[in-house]
A and B are shown apart, each in its own frame.
Chain A
Amino acid sequence: MNGDDGNDSMRDQVSGTSTDQASDSTTDQASDSTMDRVRDNVDRNGPERFEDVDWDAIDAEGRRLTKTRLAAFVACGLYVLTLAYDVLVAGDDATFEISVGLPWSTTESAYVWDVTAVDWLFVASLLVVGFALVPVARNRRLRAYYWRRFRRHRPAVISAWYLLCIFLLGTVGTLFIEPPSLDVAAAYQPPVFLSVEASIPTECVGPVVDGRCRGTWEYPLGTTGEGKGLAALAVFGMRVSMQVGLIATLISVAIATLVGTTAAYAGGWIDEALMRYVDIQQTFPTFFLFLFLAYLYGGSLFVLIVIFGVTGWGGIARIVRSEAIQRRQEQYIAAARASGASTLSVVRRHVVPNVSNSIVTAATLNVPFLVLSEAALSFIGLGDVTLPSWGQTIATGRGDLGTAWWISTVPGLFLFATILAFNFLGDALRDALDPRQEV
């Protein structure tokens, strides 16, 4: 961070970055120093933060085609090719059809995946998020620094691990387990180790002891009124929640960053027009807007994600703009401009990376709101009832709470834990990424 920081040598001196980083760091350190005395001792040697990722070093390397770049290009290319295949060749048929004999399955199961629009978006989102994390992941010191700051917040660490599990189960896990299927004969089975009056399930799969039906390992978390296993439903619900949360948030973030930085950097009437638009959009209560649009255009997963993504970015855009305006007045921007950098490159190289921590925090807190909104719309009856989302399962099982409490409660607890984890994570990230952040 200081002038003698080793990183400097790697920086692209032409763009005048060293100036900006230096000026940036003085303000940061002022607040850091006070904070650090209050908190336990933080590494004083190199309190790097997200903005300090060596974007320019990376860019400089980029011109030489780094491994990361190559990977990104390959991934992107593959993505476009398969997408083209799905749209042009496969059409209505399944995109992938692979017959595999799974070791734990007695029959050979054909693996068929007709990739839907949502799946495509999800894969794209994962790619974008993945490559966005590369600069952080590659910088060991930075990684260690964030980790040290982050791990002080115990619940957030647990939350992060929990969310990672949910994410892996939802993405990878769903590829290997059978989607829950209808079996009315096995309706209302209680979770394993628990029992329920034998008259409640259609037929008791497990043993009936003293007039009470016991749960079995076949359905470890019990079944719904349709005889679908709640364990499988919970796992598939993870995927839906991740899809809703990540894709929609990514769309929001993309639009918000574009609008926010454009408004801040362009100023004048463009700023005025964009922010006036945000004003209007924000005046509509967000949930009301969701409700209204879901009613009008139907509640399929794709439509919901688009609605969430396209209408929910106003708040983030405002944060980005106000952050970007602050940055705009920093000297390094002036220096970059003076040295002939184009507007686009200034925004891309200096403004966006420097507001990224606010974006990350806002995005983390946006995800749980969207996941809950999906559940709420399902409750009101505007979702897609065939979707195996937590919200749908809770909504359909709510009438059975009196007798088969587990139907709504199992996905309810997953939903609760996930939202809670995102909230803890969001707050911890805010603390870790920028302690000065007020809101």
Chain B
Amino acid sequence: MPSGTSLDDCRPTLRGRSRRSFLSLLGLGGAAALAGCSAPESDGTVAEPVEYVEGTATGTRTLNFLSVDDNPAVNRVQLALDGAYAVTPEQEIFPLWADISTDEGRVYTVELRDNLEWGAEYGQMTAEDWIYTITEVFQADPNWAGFPNTGDWRQNGEPIPVEKTGRRSFEIQLQSVDPAFPLRPVMWGAFCMPKALIEQYRPGGDQAGLQQDEEVQTLTYAGNLGPYRFERWERESEFVAVRNDEYYLREVDGVPDEWRDAPYFDSYTYQVVPEGSSRLSALRSGELTATDVPETRVEQLEGVDGIDVKVFPQAFMTSLIYNQRSNGSFYEALREPAVRRALAHAVDKEHIVDDVLRGYGNVAHTFQPTFSQWYADDEVTEYGVGDTYGHERARELLESALDPTPYRYDGDRVVDEDDEQVTLDLVFVQGSQAVQTTAQLVAQEYDAVGLDVEITGKEYGTLVEQHVFNSWQGDGDPPWNAGPYNGGPRDGSVSQDPWDLILGVTFNTYPRTPSATRGFTIERGGINFYGYVPETDFGSLFETATGTVDETERGETLAEIFGALSAEQPFNFLNMGVKIVGYDSAVRGPEEVFGYTWNRNTWRLDSA
């Protein structure tokens, strides 16, 4: 060893794994952590750094949140920048940099704390910085910085007006009342950059300059604005942030006690381990503190000493999507709600959750998870569970539902008008074992009711390009166009390659801002690539739900929407996914609720 001291001394002994003692016997020492392992302190006691190491499959591409806002980037930036405010699992606003308030639900006031300091001599964070970032980046036209969510800061194509009302406060003036605005991912978790920093690139629209800016890439401007300071970023290997001793939240009155000394880790590392089985191995050997675990691998970790598996509810829904556009081979039938309901009887949702997902998931019946406050049990019709699952029943229902369509039963197989057996093309997204198994299971279940299914796996990008994107193939211009996912009416706008069923494209169900599901459910919705034309007038129902400040009315309308969706079955809602994380059992803090990461700065390692 170059330093001459045993490396084990500076490695936190998180738990007494036999491995470590074995190593010290051999005198080999720990290999994993030389960093932060400096000479022992003068008084002789060795400070044991508490390190939190999270294993991920991929690294981040950038730390420039103005251009990229995918999860890897946001997770890392969040270590150094808190963001405007957090939302607790109880859907309450937890002010971080700022608090947001409103009187009547249309104009929102954002009030910044008074001890927010940028680093690198950018001074105090003021409303000026926010106004500049919003108007000159988020709302900029042309979108010089490549901000991915320009739609968030616009309403009906117009930029949402923002106005400075004080040195540390500004107003957001919406066009109409929107009581759920603070829960939308617009201001919630929003980051900001110093005006002086953006100003260097704004005039020339120098996107490349901004991308390559040293301060942007090392977050030196973060100052006291987050619980950690950027330490180093080895691309596709590790991202290390160390505890920020100047964290502003420590000097603020009225924050809960556990935030007083936050964070409790001396360093927070994202370690990139591309191979899933290696990640699990590293969790077992104690080299990782936490990492995601796929449903099919949870068993391996259960009962392993020193590892706790936690399951967090999620709002991502897996559904079997029916092609109702005219390039499907069964579309005339799939356009009939009765056919879709009959097919829903053919697939055993509980079987999928119990046996494919090994119980790590929840059966879904509508476009909302059951834990959502908008989910109303009595409005939702359930299919594919208990009595509503059965091949006999499905067959009977399908037989009568096929009447108005060119298809019918010939013996026990479904045939088309030329008496040819109907074969459906099921395309699924490759990469997840669970999705692949579900696809085969669906094929088996459909086969049992007389429908042949051929399954093909494709890479996500390929699948989207070949089957999801659709464009107008008819003559002239389309009557309307809602973007690449919905190029026009379903008879004229079809995808490049035909398909009948898609599995593995998961939908966010937005339990906090349920009206965001509008794009999935109305004929002209931006996501409606499957060509669904609802019988219920969801458009006006959503309008009512968004526009009212009356909580009861809102609740009732939304319950009606989700009830009608469950009855119409635009696609077969199969299950709500969960996030499964394997933790070092010394980790204290993560609660198994939706949105659990909001307080990760208060988590700690219990070394006792």
Q: Is the CB of A182 within 8 A of B430?
A: no
A226 CB-CB contact with B under 8 Å: yes
B324 CB-CB contact with A under 8 Å: no
Interface residues, chain A, with chain B CB atoms under 8 Å away: 92-93, 181-182, 184-185, 187, 199-200, 202, 225-226, 298, 381, 384-386, 396, 398-403
| Most chain B CB neighbours (cut-off 10 Å) among A185, A381, A385 | A385
B101 CB-CB contact with A under 8 Å: no
Contact of B355 among A92, A184, A199 (CB under 8 A): A184
Q: Is the CB of A385 within 8 A of B430?
A: yes
A386-B455, A401-B277 given. 7 additional CB < 8 A pairs?
A181-B444, A182-B441, A202-B355, A298-B459, A399-B296, A400-B300, A402-B277
Q: Is the CB of B297 within 8 A of A399?
A: yes
B interface size (C-beta, 8 A):
31
* Chain B 231-256 near chain A by CB (<8 Å), digits 1 or 0: 00000000000000000000000000
Q: Is the CB of B277 within 8 A of A182?
A: no
Q: Which of B76-84, B147-155, B431-439 contacts A (4 or more CB under 8 A)?
A: B431-439
Q: Is the CB of A92 within 8 A of B423?
A: yes
Measured between beta carbons, the chain A residues less than 8 angstroms from B294 are: 399
30 interchain pairs, CB-CB under 8 A:
A92-B423, A181-B440, A182-B441, A184-B351, A184-B355, A184-B356, A184-B441, A187-B355, A199-B299, A199-B302, A199-B303, A225-B296, A225-B433, A225-B437, A226-B440, A298-B458, A381-B430, A384-B457, A385-B430, A386-B436, A396-B433, A399-B277, A399-B280, A399-B296, A400-B296, A400-B297, A400-B300, A401-B277, A403-B299, A403-B300
* Chain A contact residues, majority secondary structure: loop
Q: Is the CB of B457 within 8 A of A386?
A: yes
Measured between beta carbons, the chain B residues less than 8 angstroms from A200 are: 299
Return B494 CB to nearest CB of chain A, in Å. 19
CA gap between A399 and B279 in the complex, in Å: 10
CA gap between A318 and B250 in the complex, in Å: 72
Measured between beta carbons, the chain B residues less than 8 angstroms from A226 are: 436-437, 440
Identify which of residues 470-496 in chain B touch chain A, using a CB-to-CB cut-off of 8 Å.
none
B91 CB-CB contact with A under 8 Å: no
Measured between beta carbons, the chain B residues less than 8 angstroms from A199 are: 299, 302-303
B456 CB-CB contact with A under 8 Å: yes
Measured between beta carbons, the chain A residues less than 8 angstroms from B436 are: 226, 385-386
Return A114 CB to nearest CB of chain B, in Å. 10
Return A222 CB to nearest CB of chain B, in Å. 16
Measured between beta carbons, the chain A residues less than 8 angstroms from B297 are: 399-400
Contact of A402 among B280, B296, B303, B437 (CB under 8 A): B280
B281 CB-CB contact with A under 8 Å: yes
Which residue of A is nearest B443, CB measured?
A: A182
Q: Is the CB of B300 within 8 A of A182?
A: no
Q: Is the CB of A298 within 8 A of B462?
A: yes
Return A277 CB to nearest CB of chain B, in Å. 30
Measured between beta carbons, the chain A residues less than 8 angstroms from B431 are: 381
CA gap between A298 and B460 in the complex, in Å: 11
CA gap between A226 and B439 in the complex, in Å: 11
Return B482 CB to nearest CB of chain A, in Å. 28
| Most chain B CB neighbours (cut-off 10 Å) among A184, A199, A384 | A184
* Chain B 411-423 near chain A by CB (<8 Å), digits 1 or 0: 0000000001001
Identify which of residues 441-472 in chain B touch chain A, using a CB-to-CB cut-off of 8 Å.
441, 444, 455-459, 462
CA gap between A202 and B300 in the complex, in Å: 13
| Most chain A CB neighbours (cut-off 10 Å) among B284, B294, B440, B444 | B440
Return A279 CB to nearest CB of chain B, in Å. 32
Contact of B277 among A185, A187, A398 (CB under 8 A): A398
Q: Is the CB of A402 within 8 A of B433?
A: no
CA gap between A399 and B300 in the complex, in Å: 10
CA gap between A93 and B302 in the complex, in Å: 47
B276 CB-CB contact with A under 8 Å: yes
Q: Which 5 A-B pairs have the closest CB atoms?
A: A184-B355, A182-B440, A385-B457, A399-B277, A403-B300
Q: Is the CB of B355 within 8 A of A185?
A: yes
Contact of A386 among B277, B281, B299, B456 (CB under 8 A): B456
Measured between beta carbons, the chain B residues less than 8 angstroms from A181 are: 440, 444
Identify which of residues 288-305 in chain B touch chain A, using a CB-to-CB cut-off of 8 Å.
294, 296-297, 299-300, 302-303
CA gap between A200 and B436 in the complex, in Å: 20
Return A241 CB to nearest CB of chain B, in Å. 20
CA gap between A402 and B279 in the complex, in Å: 13
Q: Is the CB of A182 within 8 A of B444?
A: yes
Q: Is the CB of B455 within 8 A of A184?
A: no
Measured between beta carbons, the chain A residues less than 8 angstroms from B299 are: 199-200, 403
Return A234 CB to nearest CB of chain B, in Å. 19
CA gap between A182 and B294 in the complex, in Å: 19
CA gap between A200 and B296 in the complex, in Å: 11
Measured between beta carbons, the chain A residues less than 8 angstroms from B457 are: 384-386
CA gap between A296 and B367 in the complex, in Å: 35
Which residue of A is nearest B432, CB measured?
A: A385
Measured between beta carbons, the chain A residues less than 8 angstroms from B433 are: 225, 396
